[in-house]
Amino acid sequence: MSKQEKQTKFITSDILKDALIGSVKKLNPAYMIKNPVMFVVEIGFFISLILTIFPTLFGDIGDISHLRLYNGIVAVILLITVLFANFAESVAEGRGRAQAESLKKTKKDTQARVIKSDGSEETLSSNELKKGDIVLVKAGEMIPNDGEVIEGIASVDESAITGESAPVVREAGGDFASVTGGTTVVSDWLKIRITADPGESFLDKMIKLVEGASRQKTPNEIALTTLLVGLTIIFLLVIVTLYPLAGYSGVQIPISTMIALAVCLIPTTIGALLSAIGIAGMDRVTRFNVIAMSGKAVEACGDVNTMILDKTGTITYGNRLAADFIPVGVESKSDLTDYAVMCSLNDETPEGKSTVELGKELNTKGITEEAKNATFIEFSAQTRMSGIDLPDGTTIRKGASDAIIERVKKLGGVIPRDLEETVNKVAALGGTPLVVCVDERIYGVIYLKDTVKPGLVERFARLRQMGIKTIMCTGDNPLTAATIAKEAGVDSFIAECKPEDKIEAIKKEQAEGKLVAMTGDGTNDAPALAQADVGLAMNSGTTAAKEAANMVDLDSNPTKILEVVEIGKQLLITRGALTTFSIANDIAKYFAIIPAMFTLAIPQMQILNIMHLSTPYSAILAALIFNAVIIPLLIPLAMRGVKYKPMKSESMLLRNILIYGLGGVVVPFIGIKLIDLIIAPLVMAIGLGM
């Protein structure tokens, strides 16, 4: 089971308890009016409740006790219907609140070491920090609020935010200077400039989002609500017209039956679940550790046509891995391989590990006990090389070509004539050349290649099935870019790409009426992230990138936009599928209630009684009960979403119509018939048989 699946346990006892309380609290008409469809049902409940007390208030004729009993049963079922709708929304909100409580435990009021302009220190509460304050955080201390590293380098434990146990390196300058409040410095120290005021950190924003406090209806949600209101008004007008026509035909219809007909024909199923679907969509994104600044951003993901991705760190690992050993001068490849492996045995960097792995594949003899126990010289920015010192005094180094050349010259060595050509050849391919030397003798070059992440070909193929075009942006030369693009399986690429080129590419796609998604982490990505319809910034990136985007990935996984797009599509499909199901339901309920209302007075309408329900009252009550019961049965589907499979839109539409359209017709027929068989004896027993 995946991490996400483990996190998405449908309902807990606490969520259930809160949802039950919330479903009652939401009965307030001032709240219910925000959902017009269910507000109509609540009004129907109040009218039926009044008719239970005063059965003849609107002129209904018949046995008073039977009318009162029938009206009471209708009122109870309508109340349950509204409670079920409120329960669905409360469950969705409860799942968010549960996650928010977990995040609130992470957010603690800590003491911050503030550095004043004169260099002195002052201890303040993290809640007192303001944007622009400079704080010093040492090993073992919690970072008080979001900020950017302006001095120092340290490992930071972000597990409280991301759930990942491995610490990450944060340092001043570049794209890894951003830090998140609530994380802990594991080693060394950091001097941080605070970039958020109290209550405005990413953790605060995330808490608000998962609680639903800042959620607003999306354009699609508003449009669908308008449609549902329109359908409700049409059905109400039809029913209002039906009542005098029935009277003219000599058919006496109780007001409660008219209310039951109205409730069953208006789109109550989707009306009850609409809000829950939207909240659940936001919840699913959040559970992937992505902060969506709005529901609109999530929905936009579902309509994305074009995806623009950086190469380094997104399509490729970013950490360049050893791909080949190229000897120079008179040296052999086997000797170069052995020495390259020897000086990499204690190198824990991706480059070092990959060098050893490649050497093993080439049957290296460099994995010796002498090399393992040698003195390891770590890489430093000053020397730009690393290596080992053997006990016998032999020194082996690997590093940047100019650094190694300078070292060899100082030691009195000779530079091979083909070294420069080899180094330039590797660089021209978009690789990184590491030169290996033993004392004053150069043996050759390690070719470090930025390797394409495994599985991306399949993922891009999946996007292609969705109808999404992928464009790779890279600063590499066209030859290298074309090679990487072919290997990754993207549709096209932009080589030697500058920030303005990304913006132009986005604008070009948007001019054709397409929605564009993009990922980025650097300040240079900020303009493009702001221009894109969906901008996903890495939490490890700069503040400028995060502020420009409408989504932030707390895990800093650049390929996660693929999952986010699928969630967006799933949200739209779920809403469409349940709308189809809800409207299709009306057909079965029509054939259940209409014959029951008119058959006694108009025997010719018996032909419409294709369900052969027991009695008029049992038929009406069965349809009403099914209308209520179907809501909680669909809550898991609304929460988890309709299963999404990449396919053409025409195929998807046909599939959903077949499953949820046809299913929406068949299921009520079966359900209402079964309920009728169960309740018919009870209806007869209490005297409502006719």
464 Ramachandran zone, left/alpha/beta (phi>0; psi -120 to 50): alpha
pLDDT at res. 62: 65
> What percent of the chain is predicted at pLDDT more than 90?
18
pLDDT beyond 80 at 386: yes
Full DSSP string of 238-295: HHHHHHHHHHHTT----HHHHHHHHHHHS-HHHHHHHHHHHHHHHHHHHHTTEEES-H
Predicted local confidence at residue 1, as pLDDT: 34
Which of the residues 133, 204, 310, 521 is marked catalytic?
310
Please, what is the average pLDDT of the chain? 82
Kindly tell me if the per-residue pLDDT of 407 is higher than 90: yes
Query: Tens digits of per-residue pLDDT, 44-69?
Result: 999 999 988 887 777 666 678 778 88
pTM score, whole prediction? 0.68
What pLDDT is stored for residue 264 in this prediction? 86
- Average pLDDT on 166-181 reads 73
Distance of CA 555 to CAs 6, 167, 187, Å?
Answer: 17, 12, 20
Residues 392 and 402: their CA atoms lie apart, in Å, by: 27
> What was the pLDDT predicted at 521?
74
Q: Which H helix or E strand runs over 580?
A: helix 561-598
Residue with the larger pLDDT of the pair 239 and 336:
336
Return the pLDDT at 215: 53
Residue 347 has pLDDT above 50, yes or no: yes
pLDDT band at 213 (very low <50, low <70, confident <90, very high): very low
For residue 8, is pLDDT > 50? no
3-class SS string, 610-673: CCCCCCHHHHHHHHHHHHHHHHHHHHHHHHHCCCCCCCCHHHHHHHHHHHHHHHHHHHHHHHHH
Confidence of residue 343 (pLDDT cuts 50, 70, 90): very high
- 689 pLDDT more than 60: no
Residue scoring higher pLDDT (269 or 282): 269
Strands of 463-610 (E only): list them.
Answer: 469-473, 492-494, 516-520, 534-538, 551-553
Residue 387 pLDDT more than 80? yes
* Position 413 pLDDT exceeds 60: yes
51 or 480, greater pLDDT: 51
Residue 108: predicted pLDDT: 63
175: pLDDT strictly greater than 60: no
Q: Are 98 and 15 a contacting pair, CB within 8 Å?
A: yes
* Residue in 336, 454, 456, 460 with CA at minimum distance from that of residue 398: 336
Q: Which residue has the tokens 């809550």?
A: 635
Give the angle subtended at the CA of 238 by the CAs of 29 and 76, to the nearest 5°. Answer: 40
416-430: pLDDT as tens digits: 999 999 988 887 776
Residues 6+ apart with CB under 8 A from 521: 175, 313, 537, 538, 540, 541, 542, 545, 556, 558
Q: Is the pLDDT of residue 275 over 90?
A: no
Q: How many CA atoms lie within 13 A of 64 on its CB side?
A: 4
pLDDT band at 338 (very low <50, low <70, confident <90, very high): very high
pLDDT at position 6: 40
Three-class secondary structure of residue 434 per DSSP: strand
On the question of pLDDT at 337 being above 90, the answer is: yes
Q: Mean pLDDT, to the nearest integer, of 670-684?
A: 89
| pLDDT tier for residue 129 given thresholds of 50, 70 and 90 | confident
Query: Which of the four pLDDT bands, split at 50, 70 and 90, describes residue 293?
Result: confident
Check residue 7 and give its pLDDT: 43
- Report the pLDDT value the prediction gives residue 148, as an integer from 0 to 100: 86
Note the pLDDT tens digit of each residue in 489-524: 899 999 878 878 888 999 999 999 888 988 877 777
Residues 537-549 have a mean pLDDT of: 76
Lowest mean pLDDT among 91-105, 431-445, 673-687: 91-105
Q: What is the mean pLDDT of residues 643-666?
A: 82
**What's residue 99's pLDDT?**
61
Per-position DSSP letters for 467-509, written without gaps between them: T-EEEEE-SS-HHHHHHHHHHHT-SEEESS--HHHHHHHHHHH
Q: Give 578-636 pLDDT, tens digit per residue.
A: 888 988 888 888 877 788 777 766 777 777 778 888 888 888 888 899 999 999 998 88
Sign of the dihedral through C-alpha 229, 234, 240, 243? negative
Give the pLDDT score at 65. Answer: 79
Distance of CA 645 to the CA centre of its chain: 17
User: Residue 600: its pLDDT value, please?
Assistant: 65
Query: Is 586 marked active-site?
Result: no
Per the model's pLDDT, the better-predicted residue between 218 and 229 turns out to be 229
- Strand partners for 321: 449
Rounded distance between C-alpha atoms, residue 312 and residue 175, angstroms: 12
What is the pLDDT at residue 162?
A: 59
What integer pLDDT is reported at residue 81 of this predicted model?
Answer: 92
**pLDDT band, very low/low/confident/very high, at 313 (cuts 50, 70, 90):** low
Output the CA angle 532-538-539, nearest 5 degrees.
Answer: 130
Closest by Cα among 159, 112, 158, 161 to 137: 112
At 330 the pLDDT is 92
Give me the mean pLDDT over the 403-413 stretch. Answer: 93
Rounded Cα–Cα distance for residues 567 and 652 (Å): 16
Cα torsion angle, 308, 309, 310, 316, sign: negative
Tokens representing 356?
A: 């050893």
Q: Looking at the predicted structure, is the pLDDT value of residue 458 above 50?
A: yes
Name the more confident of 45 and 277: 45
Side chain identity, residue 595: P
Bridge partners (DSSP) of residue 494 are 473
Helix axes 616-640, 268-287, angle to 10 degrees: 20
Question: Considering the chain, what percentage of its residues have pLDDT values greater than 70?
Answer: 88
CB atoms within 10 A of CB 151: 15
Of 260 and 104, which is predicted with more confidence? 260
What pLDDT, on a 0 to 100 scale, did the predictor assign at position 405? 94
Distances (CA, A) of 401 to 233, 383, 423, 426, 586: 77, 11, 7, 12, 75
